[in-house]
Amino acid sequence: MVSSFAKSFGSVLYRNFFKKESTYFTTVVLSGVAFSLTFNTMFEKYWNKKTAGLKWEDIKDRYAATD
C-alpha cells in the first residue's frame, strides 16, 4: 500500500524530471557527474590518508638530490 505522499511525490518527480526526454537525459547526466566527482573525491581523501608517508611525494626529500 502506497501512501498519498509517495504518490504525490512520484507524480511531481515524473512531471518535473522524467516526462520530457531532454530533461530526463540532463537529470541522468548531471546525477552521474555529481556521483563521479563525489566518489572520486572521497576515495582520493581515503587513499591519501591510508597511504600517508608511503607515497613518493612524501619520501622524495630523503632520496632525491636537491640542488
pLDDT, tens digit (0-9, with 9 covering 90-100), for 38-56: 999 999 999 999 999 999 9
Which grid cell is 31? 546525477
Burial 17-54 (b: 16+ CB within 10 A, else e): eeeeeeeeeeeeeeeeeeeeeeeeeeeeeeeeeeeeee
At residue 36, the pLDDT reads 99
| pLDDT reported for residue 9 | 86
Q: List, for the chain, all residue ranges whose pLDDT scores fall below the cut of 50.
A: none
Domain annotation for the chain: domains and CATH numbers: 4-55 (1.20.5)
Instruction: Determine the Cα–Cα distance for residues 6 and 55; give it in Å rounded to an integer.
Output: 49
* 22 neighbors 30 (Cβ within 8 angstroms): no
pTM of the predicted model over 0.75:
no
